[in-house]
Structure 1
Amino acid sequence: MDAPGEAHFLLQGDRLSRDFVSVGVEDTVAQALEKMRAAPGSNEIFYCYACDPQGRLVGVVPIRKLIRAAPDEHIASLMFTRVVKLPVDAPDSLVEDFFVTYRFLAFPVVDAEGRIVGVVEVGNFVDAFSDTLFDEVEGRVRDEVFRFVGLPENEMKQTRPVRMALRRFPWLLVNIGGGFLAATVTRLFEQTVERLVVVAAFIPMVLVLSESLGVQTTAVSAAMIANQKVDAHQVRREVLGTSLAGMMAAGVVALLGSIYSPHLAFPFVLFIAITLSTSLAAGLGALLPFAFQRFRVDPHLASAPLVLAISDNITLLTYFTLVTRLLG
């Protein structure tokens, strides 16, 4: 949180540059370039801003695109209408987020009526925040990495190995239990594996696909919880996209399976098993973090082990059942 009197330092101080070029939407490229040449500080202008007759900012044209266009072409046909802009009363934290998120060289600053009043350039931004920005970004990245692998954010600060071990051990038991159950499922289909050696050869490939896609959706849902920005539409889209990716991977594995097995049914088994298991893993990965949050269990610690354990066993059960029924 910005301290009183400091929240608008970047925009209200001398770091808000007035060296920018604004042109009319009906201006030609030749007219726009002429305005650029006449503008003060033209050597440091990154974008050309287009305004309507009322002076409101309605578009932006990168300088490179402007130079390459025909002289008689109008700005309206070149400009991008989705302009990322800052309000004149934007706090420093918002300015930081804009530069980190969008990676533009400059942002226009507009007043309440949408008229451009200045620009914030990347050079001024780095000067203002070079010390605090990198510490903050480094902290965000570190915390995200720790959360993704199932560790608490303050793990590096804990010096007692016993406490760290006790915190991690329960979820290792989940992995052990899932692995033992998977071994039991495999043992139940021992005769199938012995009769069809190629079935065993594809087990690692079948498992790794469901595990990989399940962890990906888990990471997306866990990030939403961490950022407190839950979007149900994005969750559904993530599950659908991940499931389609699993189906495409299933097709590739099925083609590989046809090389090693004379049975036409075996590639079909691979395709169905991988498609079902990856879709299930995607759904579990997306929903389990929210379920754990509801029951006040840390979703970052609990979700990944359970997603892996459940998806592995469902994958093996589906795979072996289909192989036994169709090839047995």
Structure 2
Amino acid sequence: MTQSTTHVIDIAQIQVYLQKRDLKRLRPLLDELQPYDLAQIFFQLSPQLQRLLLEHLTRDEIGELLEELESPDQQAVLETLGAEKTAQVLNRMSSDEVADLLGELEDSNVQKLLTTMEKGEAEKVRALLDYPEDTAGGKMTTEYVSVYNHFTADDVIQYLREEAPQAETVYYIFVTDADDRLVGVVSLRELLIAQPNTLIRDIMYERVISVPADMDQEEVAKLLERYDFLAIPVTDEEERLLGIITVDDIIDVLIEEAQEDISRLSAVGYTEKEVITHPFSSARLRIPWLLLLLLIGVFTANLLGFFEHTIQQVAALTFFMPMIAGMTGNTGTQSLALVIRGLSTGQLTRDKYLRVLGQEGIVGMIIASICSTIIIAVVTFLEGNIYLGLVIGAALWCTLLIGTFVGTLIPLLLNIAKVDPVVASGPLITTLNDVFSLIIYFGLATLFIQLL
């Protein structure tokens, strides 16, 4: 509560000081704000006060603000700044952040901005723009600290004092040979405790884990998660150091991939990441999946026609049909979530496929046995017919077991076939479970119709 109240007071004070153009009192408030908080306050201001605030922010502060904004908001700020001031701001930002920002703009605007930037900074950004956005090259930054292997510890510390302000991180110092090939890495801790005259080659860690520039960003994220690195180097085919990817960028990747997977599983389209979006765009992404489910519904309805005679004779069967289909779908979804999580984290490798199938098979039998026993008792009590209870219980046992098995097997098969299981598993599992549950349920009822 206290934190929220403090923010309200700050915003009110900032508004007052901006309106009065009282920079002397405004500056201490701005100095206390984190970039995220500054972005939150920025959008609570009127457009006129936003422009005034941008006039009072330093180039570095505007750069930090831009890094916290989404693409449409970034473009709005750039338009407010104008071409000359925008170039000055971009010169102060890290190259990977500039590349991400420019990657959302039209080519004509990108080239215009690059020509107004400092030559060295523009060349760094151009190099990054050549890589696809979702690869290691597209995520790396060229602001890192590298030294030659003949440097001493004292040489590196002196060098760090000069380069640290421009570097993305100084916790790792990367070591290269005369041909700029990556040959080692030294942590800041190891550097500080080494004797001043110690050669870097004597304290560096030679088994460096690096990634190629064309590696998918999700694979890079798995590597950093596996080894708990703060940064990982990116190299070319000849092991020359191109840049580094820091853990803060990987956190963004993990969030992005999670949002993408959730969107795909919910059948709203993996590009529909924004909550507020154009209605026609949103509908266009959802309609294909909904049409697929509509066709499944039509097929299922026709399937019921084969059991019309059974339904007419035992109307009570229709009361429990949604329960059978729903429970089957739920168990399939639970198994699907388990497998998708295992595949995405790298824990579920191919040598474990049979093991997880066996595990889920046992889980399915346990769940099916408990649920079917309960439903037999409930149906017998409600309908006064133990045979009806036994038929529904047997159908539920079979469908729950099949639902668990299908929810486990389908994503594994799709992964083997190199089809993204997140995209295709949901509709496919829904189709199979609906068909199997109806066939088993009404098939058993038809088989034992004389007892019902």
Shorter-chain TM-score tier? 0.5 to 0.7
- The answer for the alignment partner of 2:297 in structure 1 is 179
Equivalent residue letter for 2:305 = R
Partners of 2:222 and 2:342 in 1: how far apart? 20
**Structure 1, 160-169 or 234-243: larger mean CA deviation:** 160-169
Equivalent residue letter for 2:292 = V
- The answer for the alignment partner of 2:446 in structure 1 is 324
Give the alignment partner of residue 281 of structure 1, picking from 381, 387, 403. Answer: 403
Q: Is the 8 A contact 1:210 1:311 kept in 2?
A: yes
Q: Is the 8 A contact 1:243 1:279 kept in 2?
A: yes
Give yes or no for the alignment of 1:156 onto 2:273: yes
- The answer for the alignment partner of 2:425 in structure 1 is 303
Equivalent residue letter for 2:293 = N
Deviations 1:93-147 (A, max 9, x none): 899859x9xxxxxxxxxxxxxxxxxxxxxxxxxxx98x76875664454234224
Equivalent residue letter for 1:189 = F
Helix, strand or coil for the counterpart of 2:384? Answer: coil
Q: Is the 8 A contact 1:146 1:153 kept in 2?
A: yes
Higher relative contact order structure (alpha carbons within 8 Å, sequence separation ≥ 6): 1
Matches within 5 A, 1:206-285: 206-228=324-346, 229-230=348-349, 231-232=352-353, 233-285=355-407
How far residue 215 of structure 1 moved from its aligned partner, in angstroms, is 1.4
Give the alignment partner of residue 263 of structure 2, picking from 146, 170, 179. Answer: 146
Q: Is the 8 A contact 2:268 2:282 kept in 1?
A: no
Partners of 2:398 and 2:272 in 1: how far apart? 37
Partners of 2:366 and 2:286 in 1: how far apart? 33
Tell me how large the CA RMSD over aligned residues is.
4.2
Deviations 1:138-183 (A, max 9, x none): 4454234224324554432797876765554443333223212221
Helix, strand or coil for the counterpart of 1:156? Answer: coil
Provide closer, same or farther for how the CA distance between residues 7 and 268 of structure 1 changes in structure 2, counting only shifts above 3 A.
farther
Count of residue correspondences = 231
Partners of 2:261 and 2:424 in 1: how far apart? 16
Give identity over the alignment, percent.
19
Equivalent residue letter for 2:294 = I
Equivalent residue letter for 1:201 = F
Equivalent residue letter for 1:256 = V
Helix, strand or coil for the counterpart of 2:441? Answer: helix
Helix, strand or coil for the counterpart of 1:327? Answer: coil
Structure 2, unmatched stretches of 5+, are 1-135, 147-168, 174-185, 190-207, 211-220, 229-245
Q: Is the 8 A contact 2:263 2:273 kept in 1?
A: no
Equivalent residue letter for 1:303 = S
Helix, strand or coil for the counterpart of 2:385? Answer: coil
Who wins on radius of gyration, i.e. which is larger? 2
Deviations 1:231-276 (A, max 9, x none): 3123431343134213322222222111122222111111211111
Matches within 5 A, 1:1-328: 6=169, 9=172, 12-13=187-188, 97=225, 135=252, 138-139=255-256, 141-150=258-267, 153-156=270-273, 168-228=286-346, 229-230=348-349, 231-232=352-353, 233-328=355-450
Partners of 2:298 and 2:432 in 1: how far apart? 12
Provide closer, same or farther for how the CA distance between residues 257 and 12 of structure 1 changes in structure 2, counting only shifts above 3 A.
same
Deviations 1:184-211 (A, max 9, x none): 2222222322332221111111111100
Partners of 2:342 and 2:222 in 1: how far apart? 20
Provide closer, same or farther for how the CA distance between residues 291 and 162 of structure 1 changes in structure 2, counting only shifts above 3 A.
farther
Equivalent residue letter for 2:299 = L
- The answer for the alignment partner of 1:27 in structure 2 is none
Equivalent residue letter for 1:156 = K
- The answer for the alignment partner of 1:66 in structure 2 is none
**Alignment TM-score, normalising by the size of structure 2:** 0.42
Partners of 1:195 and 1:178 in 2: how far apart? 26
Provide closer, same or farther for how the CA distance between residues 322 and 235 of structure 1 changes in structure 2, counting only shifts above 3 A.
closer
**Structure 1, 139-148 or 299-308: larger mean CA deviation:** 139-148
How far residue 285 of structure 1 moved from its aligned partner, in angstroms, is 1.4
**Structure 1, 254-263 or 237-246: larger mean CA deviation:** 237-246
Q: Is the 8 A contact 1:246 1:275 kept in 2?
A: yes
Helix, strand or coil for the counterpart of 1:202? Answer: helix
Structure 1, unmatched stretches of 5+, are 15-88, 101-127
